[in-house]
Amino acid sequence: MRLIYALRFMTILPIPYKQDEDMTQIARSSIWFPLVGLIIGSALYGCGILLTSLGLELLIPTLITILWILFTGGLHLDGLADTADGLGGKDRKRSLEIMKDSRVGSFGALALICHILLKIACINILVEFDLLAALCIAPMFGRLIILFHFRLFSSARPGGMGEFFKSNGTWIEPIIGTFYALVIAYYLIGLNGLLTAGTVWVATFLIGVALSKRLGGLTGDCYGATIELGETLSLLSIIIIGVLL
């Protein structure tokens, strides 16, 4: 049942809900956020295999990136853009005001363009070196790391998303989520998966520290940005460890 909550919260799948549902179940369903990422990644991987069998390898980077965005309705990219815009504020109060604005500013637009181009480039390398299985790993790790951010960082706004997940969840979610995510990663790509997990965890933790210091905590936009950055950092780490080292 909690997996259904997680799928509904993290994707655009049309899963119905009841008006009297216990919303705290969403926080407790976070234990399955990495599994939702694996489901998304598996769909992306399947798409890549299908395109390869059709001789359309050149289309894989662009089409998979588009599909990746569609799975979440661009929600996390919106968080990345808002966070980038907010960092341009002169102080904490102004930054939070900018992040609440639904319009995308110049910093946000540049962040989106650079991020999407980098993702396309990474996928192109994965295709070239037959590492498409990494597509299963990246969305999983991107969603795993926010389970730790829920616990480690305070909310920048009273009643914000971080406060909701922290007050209604426990350390059980990130611990169990980490266990099965690492097992899956090791099964799919071996030691590279474990090294990538550590690399991404450290990098995103430092990002969380920087954002929390700047904003006085994290917001929902920060979590969305962290997921996106965690996904792309996962791809980069897998490429560096698997290809260059």
Q: What is the pLDDT of residues 101-134, one digit of tens each?
A: 888 999 999 999 999 999 999 999 999 999 999 9
In a domain, 155, yes or no: yes
Question: Which of 5-19, 79-93, 104-118 is least confident?
Answer: 5-19
In a domain, 136, yes or no: yes
Spatial CB neighbours of 235, under 8 Å, sequence gap ≥ 6: 119, 122, 123, 126, 134, 138
In a domain, 9, yes or no: no
In a domain, 201, yes or no: yes
In a domain, 99, yes or no: yes
pLDDT band at 242 (very low <50, low <70, confident <90, very high): confident
With beta carbons less than 8 A apart as the criterion, state whether 120 and 36 touch.
Answer: no
In a domain, 237, yes or no: yes
| pLDDT tens track for 56-77 | 999 999 999 999 999 999 999 9
Spatial CB neighbours of 240, under 8 Å, sequence gap ≥ 6: none
- The pLDDT, as a whole number, for residue 20 is 63
CA dist., res. 206 & res. 83, Å (int): 15
| pLDDT tens track for 141-182 | 999 999 999 999 999 988 888 888 888 889 999 999 999 999
- The pLDDT, as a whole number, for residue 65 is 97
- The pLDDT, as a whole number, for residue 64 is 97
In a domain, 73, yes or no: yes
Tally of domains within the chain: 1
| pLDDT tens track for 179-209 | 999 999 999 999 999 999 999 999 999 999 9
In a domain, 96, yes or no: yes
- The pLDDT, as a whole number, for residue 198 is 96
Residue range of the domain that includes 142: 29-244
Tell me, what amino acid is at 53?
S
With beta carbons less than 8 A apart as the criterion, state whether 134 and 235 touch.
Answer: yes
- Give the 3-state secondary structure of residue 11: coil
pTM for this predicted structure: 0.95
Contacts 24+ apart (CB under 8 A), 65-71: 65/116, 65/119, 65/120, 65/123, 67/43, 68/40, 68/44, 68/119, 68/139, 70/12, 71/11, 71/12, 71/40, 71/43
